[in-house]
Amino acid sequence: MQHPDIERAMRTGYPFQDISFAGSEPVVFEPEIDHPIEDMFGSEIQSGDTWFEDKQGRIVLEENIEDYLLEVVGGEFFKAKK
């Protein structure tokens, strides 16, 4: 034997219930993300993008690694000659 409320719901469907409240804003549920939204250069990080975090907590998207090396680390790029 099932609970009477379950049997009634199976026979008649779920009752309509207005859960809105006067003056309240609707609740919007956003999916959780497991990555930062943007990197230190303002580039948006999308699902599937590759990024890293340095020891100071700066987030850098893979496409901005060169900018990071130049601006933060102070590195210089050289090209080998033949």
Model pLDDT for residues 6-61, shown as the tens digit of each residue: 777 777 776 665 555 555 666 666 667 777 889 999 999 998 999 999 999 999 99
- Identify the burial level of 61 via C-beta atoms within 10 angstroms of its C-beta, where 0-12 means exposed, 13-18 middle and 19 or more buried: buried
**What's residue 43's pLDDT?**
94
49 contact partners, CB below 8 Å, separation of at least 6:
35, 61, 62
Q: Is the pTM of this model over 0.75?
A: no
Q: Which residue ranges make up each domain of the chain? A: 30-54
**What's residue 68's pLDDT?**
96
pLDDT confidence band for 2 (50 / 70 / 90): confident
Per the model's pLDDT, the better-predicted residue between 29 and 79 turns out to be 79
